[in-house]
Amino acid sequence: MSNKRKIKESLQSGYQTVGKPMPQQDAWDKAFGKTKYADDYLMPGMLYGKVLRSKYPAANILSIDTSKAERLPGVKAVITAKDVPNNETVTRFGQTHSVGGFEGLYRVLAYKKVRFMGEAIALVAAETQEIAEKAVNLIKVDYEPLPGVFDPIEAMKPGAYQVGEEESNTICNFKVRKGDVEKGFSLSDVIVENTYQVPFIDHAYIETESGVAWIDDDGVITIRVSTQVIEHFREVAEVLGLLHNKVRVIGTMIGGGFGGKEDITVETYLALLTWKAKKPVKLTYTREESILAHSKRHPYFMKYRTGATNDGKLMALEAELISDAGGYVYLSPWVLLYSTVGATGPYDIPYVKVDSYTVLTNNTFSSAMRGFGVPQVCFAYESQMDELARRLNLSPLEIRKKNYLRKGKALATGRVLDHYVAFPETAEKALAALGEQSKPKSPAEKIGRGIASGMTSYGRMVFLHDTSRSYVSLDMDGSVTVRCGVQDLGGGQASSLAQIAAEVLGVPMKDIKVYIADTALTPLAGTTTATRQLYMSGNATLKAAKEVREKLLGKAAKMLETRQEDLELQDRKVVAKESPDRNIPLANVVKACASDGIPLYNVAQFNAPFRELVDFRTGQGQVFPDFTFGTHAAEISVDVETGKIKVLKLVACLDVGKAINPLSVEGQLEGGTVQGLGYALMEDVVLEKGVTLTTSLSEYLIPTALDVVDVENIVLESGDGVGPFGAKGVGEPSMVSIAPAVVNAVCDALGIRVFDLPLTPEKIVKALKKS
C-alpha cells in the first residue's frame, strides 16, 4: 500500500494506536529473560539481609540479646527497635492530602508487645545469606507468651484480650442509613437472612518481596525494590529521620502485586541495614516468610437480611460486616469503607442499613488485595439475590433485571450514577455465552450454572485528593520520551501510556520510550493500586502529550501555510487532513521548533475530582470517582459422592469503557476471573490460634492450568468512563463477581447453598449430608 493511501485510511478509521490489540512493550524482554526483577540485581560488596520474626502471635518481649549474632564473623549490622531513629510512625491516610479520622501505627520492629506471628523483631546484614541466617538464629529473644485473641467477634467483646498497647480492638465502625430499614422489611413479602464467611487470602504473586538498597555517592539512600508504591520513600525517610528527598526509591518490574506490595514490605528494613552497615544490602523473602509476613485479604463475617416484594422488587437490605484486620491497622478502615459502600451491590434498594466494623486480632495483618473489600460483600449480596430468586420462583437473571441500578439512580449513599451503567446487558450476555447446558457424564454428576454481577470503583477515594503527573517530550529525530512514576505490575501500566502518547503524537509504538518508577527522575504518579493508573496517569499522559502536540501543530501550520486545525499527526508526519500529500516529516517540525526555542516537552498533572470526607455516621456522600460494571457466569459440575467441583465454563462480561489495548484487557479479565475462581474453590490461609499452617504453595493452593477452563471474555465498550478516551479500569473489577457466580452455580446444581468460602469437597459433602 502506498504511504499516501495508508495515511488517508488511518485518518478515516479514527484511532491509529488506541484500541488496537498489541503486545505490551515490555513483553519481549520478559520472553527473552532480559528483564531484571528486584532479586536479580547485584552490587559490589553487597550484603544479605535477614529478618528475625516472632514465633508467637501474642507475647511480651522481655529482652533481646543480639551479642552472639554481632560477634559472628561476617555480620555487618544487627538492628533492633532501639536502633531505629523513628521506630513508630503514624500514617494519616492519603499521600497528598491528610484525611484524619483514622491513624495507622507503622511499627518497624516489635519491642514490647508482639501482635502477630511473623512480626519483625530484628534485622541482620551479613556477607553471605548463610551467615545472615545463622546470625538471626543466634539472637535470643525472651518472650512471655500472652493468650491473644484470634476471632474478631471475640475481640470486639468487652474485656477481650487487647491486641495493641492503647488502642481498642475495634478500629472503626461505619454506617450507611437510607430510610427506616424496618419499614422496608414490613413492605417485603419475602425476607432471606443468612450469615456468610470468607477466609484470609494470600496474593500469591510468584515473585516474593525483594529489594536491594545502597547509599549513593551523594549520600542518598537508594532502594531498588519490587513495589506498587514508590512513594513510600517518604515513610522510609521519616523512619530514618531524613528529609524526604534523601531517600530515593526505584521500582523494578514487579513479579505480581495484587495489592500485596502496596504496603511497605522490605523497603524500611533495607534502608536501615544499608544505613547502619554502609554497604549495599539485598533482602528477599522466602515463600514461607512472604506468606507469614505480608498482608492478607480480610476475612469477613457478613450477616445479610434482604427483603423483596412478591414480584421480585428489592425493598430492604440490612447488613452487618465484621472484618479481621489482624495485628495492625494498615489499610483496614479503607477496605472496610469500600465494603460498606459496596454492601448493596449494583441494586436499587429503597431502605438500607449497613453497620460495619474492622477489628484487631492476633492474626496476620490484613490490608489491600485486588477488589479491596468488594469481593467479600459481592459473595454475600449475590448469594442473597439467588436465595431470593429461589423463594420467589424467579430466575437469577429476572430478579436482577428488576433491581439493577441505572444511570441517574442513586446508591444508598446518595451518590447518583452519572455515567452509563452496563446492566442488564452484561448479565444477559454473560449468561447467553454459557450456551447449551452440558450433560452430566455420570449419575453422580450434577450440572449447575450461576451468574453474579459486580460494581467496582476505579481510582482512589475522592476525599484523598488524588493526583498523577506525567512528562512527555519529543527528541530531535521525532522520537518520544514519556517519564511517569507508575509502577508496572505486568498489566501494561507503562505500555498503555506509550499507546496514548503514540496516538496523540502520531508516531508508531516503537518510537516511544517510557521511563517509569523512579522517585528521583520520573514525575510522581501515585500508587499502582485502586485500579487507578490508566485512569490517572493515562489522563496525565494524554494531557501532557496534547500540549506538546499543540505546540508542534502551531509551528507546522506556519511551515505549511495552513490553519492548525486542518492538520493531523500521522506516521511521523504532520499531514494536511484534506490533502495528505501536503505533509512534513515530524522531525523537521521538531528541528524548526528547537531552532525557534519552542519547548516540545510538558509535565502535566491530572487531578481526580476532589471531594470532602464522607459522613461516616450515615454514609452519605461521594466516595469514588466512577465504577466499572460487569457480570460473571459459570457452569460447573459437582460429584455428589465426592463433593468435587469441576469447572466447565467461565464467562466474564465487563463494560471497560474503551479498551486502550484489547489484548491487555482480555489478560485482566482472564487472569482476574481465574484468581476469583481460586477464592471460590480452594484458596484459604489457615491459621490456628494465630499460627499460619499453610506456609507453602503446596498447602496454600492457587489454580493451576488443570483447575481452570478457558475464560470467555465479552468486552463491552460504552466509551463512558472517566479515563483517557473514555476508558474505565478493569484490574480489580475483573475478579470481583466470579466467586459468587460459581457458588450460585453449585447451588443451582445441588439445591443447597454453602455460606463460607472456599467450596472444598469436604464442605460440599457435609452440606449434602446435612440436607
Partner 1 sequence: MKTYLVEIKLNGEWQKAEVTAKETLIEVLRNKLGATEVKNGCGKGDCGSCAVIFNGKAVNSCLTLALQANGKEVTTLKGIGTEERPHPLQKSFVQHGAVQCGFCTAGMIVSAKALLDHNSKPSRDEIREAISGNLCRCTGYKKIINAIQDVALESKL
Name residue, grid cell 520492629.
109
How far is the C-alpha of 765 from the C-alpha of 641, rounded, in Å? 7
**Cβ-based nearer residue to partner 1, 37 or 755:** 37
Grouping H, G, I as helix, E, B as strand and the rest as coil, residue 100 is coil
Helix (H) or strand (E) holding 645: strand 645-655
- Is residue 339 within 8 A of residue 322, CB to CB? The reply is no
Residue 24 touches partner 1, criterion: CB under 8 A: yes
758 upstream amide cis, omega within 30 of 0 = yes
Nearer to partner 1, 118 or 255 (CB): 255
Q: Which of 489, 534, 557, 714 binds partner 1 (CB under 8 A)?
A: 489
Q: Which CB, 203 or 573, lies closer to partner 1?
A: 203
CA distance 339 to 318: 13
Closest CA relative to residue 448, chosen from 631, 690, 638: 638
Using CB atoms within 10 A of its CB, is residue 756 exposed (0-12), middle (13-18) or buried (19+)?
middle
Phi, psi of 446 (to 5 degrees): -115, 140
765 binds partner 1 (CB under 8 A): no
β-bridge pairing 210-215 and 103-107 = unpaired
Which of 12, 13, 442, 698 binds partner 1 (CB under 8 A)? It is 698
Q: Quick one: how far is CA 245 from the chain centroid?
A: 27
* Minimum CB–partner distance for residue 258 and partner 1 (Å): 7
Residues 189-228 that bind partner 1 (CB under 8 A): 203-208
Tell me whether residue 21 is exposed, middle or buried, using C-beta atoms within 10 angstroms of its C-beta: 0 to 12, 13 to 18, 19 or more. Answer: exposed
Compute the distance between CA of residue 400 and CA of residue 389 in angstroms, rounded to an integer. Answer: 9
Binding to partner 1 (CB under 8 A) within 490-509 occurs at: 490-492
* Binds partner 1 (CB under 8 A): choice among 94, 164, 179, 256: 256
Query: According to the binding rule CB under 8 A, does residue 708 interact with partner 1?
Result: yes
Q: Is residue 37 near partner 1 by the rule CB under 8 A?
A: yes
Q: In what order do the strands lie in the sheet with 221-225?
A: 75-80, 120-126, 47-53, 281-284, 210-215, 221-225, 247-251
Task: Let me know: does 493 contact 194? Beta carbons within 8 Å.
Answer: no
Cβ contacts of residue 432 below 8 Å, gap of 6+?
Answer: none
Distances (CA, A) of 430 to 297, 389, 645, 649: 27, 18, 21, 11
Q: Which of residues 557-616 bind partner 1 (CB under 8 A)?
A: none
Does residue 706 interact with partner 1 by CB under 8 A? yes
Of 135-143, 316-324, 692-700, 753-761, which part binds partner 1 (CB under 8 A)? Answer: 692-700
Rule CB under 8 A: say whether 672 interacts with partner 1.
yes
Neighbour-count burial of 581, counting CB atoms closer than 10 A to its CB (0-12 exposed, 13-18 middle, 19+ buried): exposed
**635 lies in the binding site for partner 1 (CB under 8 A):** no
Residue 253 interacts with partner 1 (CB under 8 A): yes or no: yes
Q: Which is nearer to partner 1, 380 or 645 (CB)?
A: 645
Q: Smallest distance from the beta carbon of 48 to partner 1, in angstroms?
A: 11
Q: Does 258 bind partner 1 (CB under 8 A)?
A: yes
Under the criterion CB under 8 A, does residue 673 sit at the interface with partner 1?
yes
Q: Which of 11, 72, 190, 663 touches partner 1 by CB under 8 A?
A: 663
Task: Considering only the stretches 97-105, 171-179, 702-710, 717-725, report the one whose residues sit in contact with partner 1 under the rule CB under 8 A.
Answer: 702-710
Which of 674, 680, 682, 742: binder of partner 1 (CB under 8 A)?
674
Q: Using the rule CB under 8 A, which residue among 4, 5, 6, 36 binds partner 1? A: 36
CB of 548 to partner 1, least distance (A): 29
- Planar angle of CA 117, 198, 329, nearest 5 degrees: 45
| Of 453 and 664, CB closest to partner 1 | 664
* Candidate ranges 487-495, 551-559, 614-622, 742-750; the one touching partner 1 (CB under 8 A): 487-495
Beta bridge partner(s), residue 654: 630, 715
Q: Give phi and psi for 434, each to the nearest 5.
A: -70, -20
Question: Smallest Cα–Cα separation from 77: which of 48, 55, 119, 54?
Answer: 48
CB of 700 to partner 1, least distance (A): 9
Q: What angle do CA 326, 330, 335 make, to 5 degrees?
A: 85
Cβ 39 to partner 1, closest distance in Å? 7
209, 670, 717, 748: residue in contact with partner 1 (rule CB under 8 A): 670
Q: Are 477 and 458 in contact (CB under 8 A)?
A: no
Does 32 help bind partner 1 (rule: CB under 8 A)?
yes
Number of residues forming the site for partner 1 (CB under 8 A)? 56
**Is the distance from CB of 456 to CB of 640 less than 8 angstroms?**
no
* Interaction between residue 443 and partner 1 (CB under 8 A): no
Q: Is residue 664 part of the contact set for partner 1 (CB under 8 A)?
A: yes
Instruction: Please select the residue that binds partner 1; options are 247, 702, 722, 741, rule is CB under 8 A.
Output: 702
Order of strands, sheet of 59-65, starting from the edge strand that comes earlier in the sequence: 113-114, 59-65, 140-145
- Kindly write out the interface string for residues 102-121 of this chain, putting x where it contacts partner 1 by CB under 8 A and - elsewhere: --------------------
- Tell me: does residue 45 bind partner 1 (CB under 8 A): no
CB closer to partner 1 out of 587 and 697: 697
* Contact yes or no for 587/574 (Cβ under 8 A): no
Q: Which of 506, 505, 524, 508 is nearest to 516 (CA)?
A: 524
Q: How far is the CB of 322 from partner 1 (least distance, A)?
A: 28
Between residues 180 and 288, which has the closer beta carbon with respect to partner 1? 288
159 binds partner 1 (CB under 8 A): no
Q: Is 471 in the site for partner 1 (CB under 8 A)?
A: no
Q: Is 705 one of the binding residues for partner 1 (CB under 8 A)?
A: yes
Shortest CB 40 distance to partner 1, Å: 4
Mask for 4-23, x = binds partner 1 (CB under 8 A): -----------------x-x
Q: State yes or no: residue 26 binds partner 1 (CB under 8 A).
A: yes
Q: How far apart are CA 341 and CA 460, in angstroms?
A: 14
CB within 8 A of 415, min separation 6: which ones?
621, 622, 623, 624
Least Å from the CB of residue 613 to partner 1: 35
**Quick one: which of 254, 462, 504, 634 contacts partner 1 (CB under 8 A)?**
254
Residue 628 near residue 656 (C-beta atoms within 8 A): yes
> What is the closest distance, in whole angstroms, from the C-beta atom of residue 260 to partner 1 in the complex?
10
**Position 666 contacts partner 1 (CB under 8 A):** yes
Distance between CA atoms of 332 and 153, rounded to whole angstroms? 16
Q: Which is nearer to partner 1, 605 or 694 (CB)?
A: 694
Amino acid found at 559: M
Q: Which is nearer to partner 1, 21 or 145 (CB)?
A: 21
Residue list 279-338, contact with partner 1 (CB under 8 A) = 284, 286-287
- Alpha helices (runs of H) in 13-104, residue ranges in sequence order: 27-31, 67-71
- Best CA proximity match to 301, nearest among 330, 347, 339, 258: 339
Segment interacting with partner 1, rule: CB under 8 A, options 66-74, 216-224, 413-421, 483-491: 483-491
Q: Does 396 bind partner 1 (CB under 8 A)?
A: no
* Nearest-approach distance from CB 1 to partner 1, in angstroms: 22
d(CA 500, CA 448): 43
Q: Which stretch binds partner 1 (CB under 8 A): 34-42, 77-85, 267-275, 318-326?
A: 34-42
The stretch among 32-40, 183-191, 397-405, 758-766 that binds partner 1 (CB under 8 A) is 32-40
Q: Which residues bind partner 1 (CB under 8 A)?
A: 21, 23-24, 26-28, 30-37, 39-40, 203-208, 253-258, 284, 286-287, 489-492, 663-664, 666-667, 670-675, 696-698, 702-706, 708, 710-711
